[in-house]
A and B are shown apart, each in its own frame.
Chain A
Amino acid sequence: MRLEYPANVRIVRVPCTGKVDVMLMLRAFQKGADGVYCVGCLEGTCHYNAGNLRCRERVEHVQSMLDEMGMEKERVRMYNLSSGEGPTFAAYAKEMTAYIKEVGPSPLGTAQNKDE
């Protein structure tokens, strides 16, 4: 398909979004990521029944934590698509990148203790 999507997206592959833990998302922010988004299968189609639903709950948990900390909670998001939807994957990457460009880089800095 040779689709293009923004080069600033770094992919972390997991067997199922159910594997994505709260700590994995927090660690990304701690290490300077401007945003984190999870792309899971369509709801209702999880091979493990509830992996993507669990991920959504965890994403929402991290959103509330970001809110508590004083960061834009939309910096972490959950998207769903089927494995056949390449163009949608690229569209989500563009959408997320556009949002991040709009709110600016993470206030935590691009690297740990960058300000020091």
Chain B
Amino acid sequence: MIVGKRKPFEEIKDLIGPYKKVLNVGCGTCVAVCLVGGEKEVDVLSAEIDMARRLSKEPIDIDSITVERQCDREYLEVLDDKVEGYDALLTMACGAGVQFLAERFPETPVLPMVDTTFIGVNQGVGWYEERCRSCSSCVLGVTGGVCPVTMCAKSLYNGPCGGTNHGKCEISDDQDCAWHMIYERLEKQGRLDGIIAFTPAREHENQVPRTTIQPGYKKPESEQ
């Protein structure tokens, strides 16, 4: 899931700045699961903003709504007849949701309340760890299910580097060496011979926003 972190309150106050009537829009999917931008978090933030503004003698009119997903047109549709009259929209969705919302309501300022941090896993309630950098060229099949792009400080496809230190990374003793983990995993599976295979480096330069069309689907003709 996509994991986010709420922006510091000072930054939020600065972003909202002079606006007097805002709509706080939550997202009921990834950010709700990682406890940062779902219905409950939207209510908490709205209450906090309301009280902070009343304390600074600049009251704000703030309403809240949470849509199922902000990265899906059909769920944004419900906002069409609601955003009118608001000076700005606050959104607690991930970066994709923020942009999609801004795209749908280009006349209204859309302000992110959340910093999108990573694609990660749930280790416990409120505890998340990064596992994927969405690099577009997954090598997990040959690395025993340990991602060298995410787990290695240098994102090395063909490692380890000289900084591997008895299972730890040279940057910190808290950081495991990804390639040490890969070696151990493959050894356990009896697949060590595969570790020698060379993976060409990914071209990171000149990246453009990626598009995926799943097999069996195509863009509508109007978009082509």
Which A residue's beta carbon lies closest to that of B47?
A26
CB contact list, A29-80 vs B, under 8 A: 29-30, 65, 68-71
Contact in complex: B40, A70 (CB < 8 Å): no
Q: Which residues of B contact A70 (CB under 8 A)?
A: 52, 55-56
Contact in complex: A69, B55 (CB < 8 Å): yes
Which B residue's beta carbon lies closest to that of A27?
B47
Contact in complex: A29, B51 (CB < 8 Å): yes
Given A23-B40, A23-B43, does the pair A68, B48 have CB atoms closer than 8 Å?
Answer: yes
Which A residue's beta carbon lies closest to that of B126?
A57
Task: Out of B9, B47, B56, B59, name the residue touching A30 (CB < 8 Å).
Answer: B47
The bracket for how many chain B residues form the interface is: 10 to 19
B54 at the interface (CB under 8 A from A): yes
C-beta contact mask, B38-59 vs A, less than 8 Å → 1, else 0? Answer: 0010011001101110111101
Minimum C-beta distance from A22 to chain B (A): 6
A108 at the interface (CB under 8 A from B): yes
Minimum C-beta distance from A73 to chain B (A): 13
Minimum C-beta distance from A6 to chain B (A): 24
**Complexed CA–CA distance, A27 and B40 (Å):** 13
Contact in complex: B48, A107 (CB < 8 Å): no
Contact in complex: A71, B59 (CB < 8 Å): no
Contact in complex: A69, B44 (CB < 8 Å): no
A8 at the interface (CB under 8 A from B): no
Q: Which residues of A contact B43 (CB under 8 A)?
A: 23
Task: Out of A22, A23, A26, name the residue touching B51 (CB < 8 Å).
Answer: A26
CB contact list, B1-60 vs A, under 8 A: 9-10, 40, 43-44, 47-48, 50-52, 54-57, 59
Minimum C-beta distance from A67 to chain B (A): 10
A83 at the interface (CB under 8 A from B): no
**Complexed CA–CA distance, A113 and B51 (Å):** 11
Which B residue's beta carbon lies closest to that of A70?
B55
**Complexed CA–CA distance, A29 and B56 (Å):** 15
Which A residue's beta carbon lies closest to that of B125?
A54
Minimum C-beta distance from A91 to chain B (A): 30
List residues of chain A with CB under 8 Å of any chain B CB.
21-23, 26-27, 29-30, 65, 68-71, 107-109, 113, 115-116
List residues of chain B with CB under 8 Å of any chain A CB.
9-10, 40, 43-44, 47-48, 50-52, 54-57, 59
What are 30 A-B pairs with beta-carbon distances under 8 A? A21-B40, A23-B40, A26-B44, A26-B47, A26-B48, A26-B51, A27-B47, A29-B51, A30-B47, A30-B50, A65-B9, A65-B48, A68-B9, A68-B10, A68-B48, A68-B52, A69-B48, A69-B51, A69-B52, A69-B55, A70-B52, A70-B55, A70-B56, A71-B51, A108-B51, A108-B54, A108-B55, A113-B59, A115-B57, A116-B59
- 12 more A-B residue pairs beyond the given contacts A30-B51, A69-B51, A69-B52, with a C-beta to C-beta distance below 8 A: A23-B47, A65-B9, A65-B44, A65-B48, A68-B52, A69-B48, A69-B55, A70-B52, A70-B55, A108-B51, A108-B55, A115-B57
